[in-house]
Amino acid sequence: MPELPEVETILRGLLPKIKGQRINGVPEDGSKVFQMDPELLGLHLLGQVIRDLRRRAKYLIFDLERHRVIVHLGMTGQLTLRNPGKSDSDGFLRHPVTGLQRTRQHAPDRHTHFQIHLANGTSVLFRDVRKFGKVYLFDVLDGSAGVLFARLGPEPFSEDYTLKCFLERMGTRKLRIKSLLLDQRFIAGVGNIYADEALFEAGVYPGRRVRYLRKYEKVRIFKAVPDVLRKGIVAGGTTINDFVDSDGQVGGFQEQLNVYGREGERCYRCDSVIQKTVVGQRGTHYCPVCQKR
DNA sequence: AACCTTCCCTGATGGC
DNA sequence: TGCCATCAGGGAAGGT
Tell me whether residue A3 is one of the annotated catalytic residues. yes
Same domain (yes/no): A123, A238? no
A179 CA → B11 C1’, Å: 27
Q: With a 7 Å cutoff on the CB, does A179 touch strand B?
A: yes
Residue A22 is which amino acid? R
Same domain (yes/no): A41, A116? yes
DSSP H or E run through A55 = strand A52-56
CA distance A242 to A102: 16
C-beta separation of A58 from A7 below 8 A: yes
Domain interval for residue A261: 163-286
Within-domain flag for A293: no
Give the Å distances, CA to CA, from A124 to A22, A109, A236: 12, 14, 19
Q: With a 7 Å cutoff on the CB, does A223 touch strand B?
A: no
Specify which residues A125 forms β-bridges with: A80, A115
Residue A84 is which amino acid? P
Using a 10 angstrom Cβ sphere, with 0-12 exposed, 13-18 middle and 19 or more buried, the burial of residue A192 is buried
pLDDT of residue A95: 44
A218 CA → B2 C1’, Å: 20
Comparing C-alpha atoms, which of A203, A185, A186, A176 is closest to residue A277? A176
Within-domain flag for A12: yes
Q: Which residue is nearest to nucleotide B1 (CA to C1')?
A: A173
Nucleotide nearest to A192 (CA to C1'): C9
Within-domain flag for A124: yes
Task: Count CA atoms within 13 Å of residue A62 on its CB side.
Answer: 28
A145 CB-near residues (< 8 Å, 6+ apart): A61, A68, A70, A136, A138
pLDDT of residue A198: 96
Q: Which CATH number goes with the domain that contains A141?
A: 3.20.190.10
Within-domain flag for A291: no
Q: Which nucleotides of B are covered by protein (CB under 7 A)?
A: 2-11
pLDDT of residue A140: 86
Q: Which CATH number goes with the domain that contains A276?
A: 1.10.8.50
Within-domain flag for A292: no
Q: How many domains does chain A have?
A: 2
pLDDT of residue A96: 42
pLDDT of residue A103: 61
C-beta separation of A197 from A258 below 8 A: yes
Tell me whether residue A156 is one of the annotated catalytic residues. no
Please provide residue A180's backbone torsions phi and psi, each rounded to the nearest 5 degrees: -65, -40
Using a 10 angstrom Cβ sphere, with 0-12 exposed, 13-18 middle and 19 or more buried, the burial of residue A284 is buried
Give, for all 293 residues of chain A, the pLDDT tens digit: 899 999 999 999 999 999 999 999 999 999 999 999 999 999 999 999 999 999 999 999 999 999 999 999 999 999 999 988 788 875 544 444 444 455 678 889 999 999 999 999 999 999 999 999 999 999 988 777 888 898 899 999 999 999 999 999 999 999 999 999 999 999 999 999 999 999 999 999 999 999 999 999 999 999 999 999 999 999 999 998 889 999 998 999 999 999 999 999 999 999 999 999 999 999 999 999 999 88
A109 CA → C2 C1’, Å: 27
Q: Which residue is nearest to nucleotide B3 (CA to C1')?
A: A175
